[in-house]
């Protein structure tokens, strides 16, 4: 982070110089235009009177030309200083970051360049769709000749259509979607539909006493959720007592907090993505964030490998030469490390559950076979190696 802070300081200096230069340039040009305008008025007045050009006006014109020349030269000189500041930003980037990031990993680890480009373009398109930048995504598809099926686009189109409506405080599309997917949302233990009905009820409460009857009528929508959300329903019903006095000055004023709209957008995004088989965060943003954490470690590994001349250490596509801690946020899959070989299991070396219940890797199982029998390394039970069952976390 120190490298980023160093570059950021240089960028801040450039931005400050741009701001100062812009203000100075605008002020200088305005003063110059005002001065030239006055001189032009004097010359026009002299011409109308038919008097010859006086020595004073000639001197003023010479001074004006000199002032214009000096001002332009000063502005050009200040502009050159800004160019040097911009170049210092580039030097700071080169000084603090490795320009050969692509060389951190051998090309043999990845697929062909065409395959890499296609995967990257697809990740960018998916990110743009997920962020709601549909026009940009379509333009990229056309320019890159990337063929994206309508079935791939449809979930993102529907998701963004409903989110746009929620941002405009329109609950209709979201409620319609939640009702049509009610059973699947219940299987996910989602409270999305209840929260949407609650927010609609709160909007009716915000309408004052005139909306009281409509709010009471709408409260019937809470009946299917009474068992799981009894306390919240009681709070909303209790708020009706203060409706004539104004909820803003009542103990229920928290119901009118605008944070409920941000919360419902987050809840809808999370539950809808789970229902549609999409990730809440785009794979591109997750990969970028993980790469920022892992890159310094990988660069150190590269330096060590080159120093010790052991280039064949890292040649597998599905694993890194060492474990890199990315934090709990990036834990998406369960992992199992064999207690015998101290290695993380993989598709080619899966975890095997023995009859006694202990779990080891397949490679460890093969190493422990003696005379066609296997003795568990943790208990005295002997068993047939074929009785081991592969487990999936």
Tell me how far CA of residue 30 lies from CA of 27, 33, 125, 126, in angstroms. 5, 5, 47, 49
CA 220 to chain centre: 39
Is 27 inside a domain boundary?
yes
Give me the residues paired with residue 374 across strands.
369, 383
Pairing state of beta strands 373-375 and 382-383?
antiparallel
Q: What's the pLDDT score for residue 336?
A: 82
Boundary residue ending a domain (93, 115, 136)? 93
Q: Is residue 107 part of a domain?
A: no
Residue 158: inside a domain, yes or no? yes
Based on the fold, state whether residues 170 and 250 are members of the same structural domain.
Answer: yes
The CATH number of the domain holding residue 351 is 3.30.40.10
* Same-domain status, 152 and 55: no
Cβ pair 127, 103 in contact under 8 A: no
How far, in Å, are 28, 33, 73 from residue 66 at the CA level? 14, 14, 11
* Domain assignment of residue 116, yes or no: no
367 found inside a domain:
yes
Asked, for residue 266, whether it belongs to a domain, the answer is: yes
Residues 165 and 249 in one domain: yes
Kind of pairing between the strands at 369-370 and 382-383 = unpaired
pLDDT score, position 35: 83
Q: Which residues of the chain have pLDDT under 70?
A: 1, 53, 98-111, 310-321, 332-334
Domain boundaries, position 339: 335-388
Query: Considering the domain boundaries, does residue 64 fall inside one?
Result: yes
What's the pLDDT score for residue 317? 58
User: Given 221, 243, 274, which residue is the final one in a domain?
Assistant: 274
The number of distinct structural domains making up the chain is 3
- My answer on whether 248 and 156 are in the same domain is yes
Contacts 24+ apart (CB under 8 A), 124-130: 124/284, 126/156, 126/282, 126/283, 126/284, 127/282, 127/283, 127/284, 127/285, 129/153, 129/156, 129/157, 129/160, 130/156, 130/159, 130/278, 130/282
Q: Are 164 and 266 within one domain?
A: yes
Does 307 map to a domain? no
Final residue of a structural domain among 71, 93, 115: 93
284-326 pLDDT, tens digit per residue, is: 888 888 888 888 787 777 777 777 776 666 655 556 667 777 7
For residue 159, the model assigns a pLDDT of 86
């Amino acid at each position: 982070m120190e490298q980023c802070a160093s570059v950021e300081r240089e960028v801040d200096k450039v931005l400050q110089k741009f701001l100062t230069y812009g203000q100075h340039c605008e002020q200088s040009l305005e003063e110059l235009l005002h001065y030239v305008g006055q001189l032009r008025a004097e010359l026009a007045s002299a011409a109308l009177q038919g008097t010859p050009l006086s020595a004073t006006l000639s001197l003023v014109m010479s001074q004006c030309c000199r002032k214009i020349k000096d001002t332009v030269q000063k502005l050009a000189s200040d502009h050159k200083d800004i160019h040097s500041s911009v170049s210092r930003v580039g030097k700071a980037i080169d000084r603090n970051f490795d320009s050969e990031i692509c060389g951190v990993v051998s090309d043999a680890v990845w697929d062909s360049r065409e395959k890499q480009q296609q995967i990257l373009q697809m990740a960018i398109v998916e990110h743009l769709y997920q962020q709601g930048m549909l026009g940009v995504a379509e333009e990229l598809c056309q320019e890159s000749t990337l063929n994206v099926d309508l079935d791939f686009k449809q979930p993102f189109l529907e998701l963004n259509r409903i989110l746009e409506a929620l941002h405009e405080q329109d609950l209709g599309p979201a409620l319609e979607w939640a009702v049509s997917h009610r059973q699947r949302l219940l299987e996910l233990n989602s409270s999305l539909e209840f929260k949407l009905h609650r927010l609609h009820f709160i909007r009716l409460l915000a309408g004052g006493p005139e909306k009281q009857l409509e709010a009471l009528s709408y409260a019937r929508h809470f009946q299917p959720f009474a068992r799981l959300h009894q306390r919240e329903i009681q709070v909303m019903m209790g708020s009706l007592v203060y409706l004539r006095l104004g909820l803003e000055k009542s103990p229920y004023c928290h119901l009118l907090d605008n944070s409920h709209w941000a919360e419902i957008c987050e809840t809808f995004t999370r539950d809808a993505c789970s229902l549609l088989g999409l990730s809440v965060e785009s794979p591109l943003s997750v990969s970028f964030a993980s790469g920022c954490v892992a890159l310094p470690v990988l660069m150190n590994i590269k330096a060590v490998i080159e120093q010790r001349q052991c280039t064949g250490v890292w040649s597998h596509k599905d694993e890194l030469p060492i474990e890199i801690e990315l934090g709990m946020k990036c834990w998406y899959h369960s992992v199992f490390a064999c207690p015998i070989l101290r290695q993380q299991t993989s598709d080619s070396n899966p975890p095997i559950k023995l009859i006694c219940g202990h779990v080891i890797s397949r490679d460890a199982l093969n190493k422990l076979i003696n005379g066609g029998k296997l003795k568990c390394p943790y208990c005295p039970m002997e068993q047939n190696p074929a009785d081991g069952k592969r487990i999936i976390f």
